[in-house]
Structure 1
Amino acid sequence: MKIYDVEGFPNPARVRIALAEKGAQDAVEFVAIDVMQGEHRSEAFRQKNPDAVVPCLELEDGTCISQCNAITEYIDASFEGPSLTGTTAKERAVISMMNLRAENGLLNAVGTYFHHATPGLGPDLETDQCAVWGNRQKATAEQTMAYLDSVLASSDYLAGESFSVADITAFAGLAFADFAKIEVPETLTHLTEWRARVAARPSVSG
């Protein structure tokens, strides 16, 4: 398998953490994509991923899978180890729900703010910016942080007592928030404590 990505970017980080949680890093060849030079928008890359974003997983038979949730679901089903997406119908539904809340409300909201209301990746890549929309999404990200803090007040992890893809997504979202200079309020103590625990996991700290 090959994964086309940029090391350190938020969505590629989600896939790399999932692989590490399953102990499957050595089963994948990572191929660096030069986003700053627009390689992700090239015709050659679009043939693999019409979304023109990273990461993208390419299987041995040539099948290409994009979208982080699809990639992590494939990884979770393909390798041994504790499930990241749930094993029962209820677990899968709750994890999926919380993952989407973390993705849409935090990670994607921060991304929208970064790409629309800041210089982002520079004028060559950031086209059709809308600062009003970007700043509105910054507020959404801040509201989501408060919501996640409330969830963690009574739960070890975002979807229950086990670490899941929802935690991976939220952790990546907070890292992106740091990069975009969106602060996590000091009052969100549950979120801060959870973040420290996740950061200490071998899949993240290693």
Structure 2
Amino acid sequence: MKIYDVEGFPNPLRVRMALAEKNALDQVTFVPVDVMNAEHRSDAFLVKNPAAGVPVLELDDGTYISECSAIIEYIDHTFAGISLTGTSAKERAVISMMQRRAEFMVLDAAATYFHHATDGLGPDLEIDQNKAWGNKQAKNVLAGFKYFNTVLGNAPYVAGDVFTMADITLFAGLVFADFGKLTVPSQYTNLLAWRAKIQDRPSLK
């Protein structure tokens, strides 16, 4: 198995965290993608993922799987260890719902702000910017912070009582927010305490 990614980027972090949580980092080979020189937009890479994004998982039979949630689901069902996607129908549904909320309310919104309303990855890569749209997404990120601060006032983790894929996604979303210098307000103590708790997990060491 191979994973094409960029170490240190928020979305690749999601997959690396999942592998670490399953004690499976040594079961894959990481292949660095030179995003800064637009390798992810090359014809060779677009065969792997036509959306031109990282990470991408390549299975031994040549199958390519992109989209972090799909890759993490594959990892969760392939390797032993804690369940990241749930076991019962209810657990799986709640985790999927909260993971998607973390994705579009924080991570995707922070990414849009970073790529459209800041210098992002530089002028050679950040083409067709729409700063008004990016700034609108910054407001959505702040609304997402408020929402998840409330959620985490009622439960220890994003989807309930245990750590799941939803926590991984929200944590990566906060990393993307850091890229754009979107800071969690100090009054959101539940979200800040949760972030410190996740940061202390072995999978992030």
TM-score normalised to structure 1 length: 0.99
Deviation at 1:143, TM superposition (A): 0.2
Residue type matched to 2:107 in 1? Answer: L
User: What does 1:79-158 correspond to in 2, within 5 Å?
Assistant: 79-158=79-158
Q: CA deviation at 1:51?
A: 1.1
One-letter amino acid matched to 1:165: M
- C-alpha distance in 1 between matches for 2:70 and 2:87: 16
Local SS of the residue matching 1:65 = strand
Query: Shift of the alpha carbon at 1:178?
Result: 1.2
The separation in 2 between residues aligned to 1:136 and 1:51, in whole angstroms, is 23
Between the aligned partners of 1:175 and 1:115, the Cα distance in structure 2 is 14
Q: Deviations over 1:8-39 (max 9, x none)?
A: 00000000000000000000000000000000
Q: Match of 2:4, SS?
A: strand
Match of residue 51 from structure 2: 51
Unaligned runs of 5+ in 1: none
In the comparison of the two structures, how many residue pairs are matched? Answer: 205
Q: Structure 1 stretches (4+) deviating beyond 4 angstroms? A: none
Matches of 2:66 and 2:51, distance apart in 1: 8
Q: Shift in Å at residue 175 of structure 1?
A: 1.2
Whole-Å separation in 2 of the counterparts to 1:98 and 1:14? 15
State the shift of 1:49 in Å: 1.0
> How big is the shift at 1:110?
0.3
CA deviations on 1:128-167 (whole Å, 9 max, x unpaired) are 1111100000000110010000000010000000000000
Segment of structure 1 superposing worse, 175-184 or 189-198: 175-184
Distance in 2 (alpha carbons) for counterparts of 1:31 and 1:78: 20
Displacement of 1:179 after TM fit?
A: 1.7
Q: Could you say which residue in structure 2 is the equivalent of 1:184? A: 184
3-state SS, counterpart of residue 119 of structure 1: coil
Give the letter for the 1:23 counterpart.
Answer: N
Aligned-CA RMSD value: 0.5
Corresponding residue for residue 200 of structure 1: 200
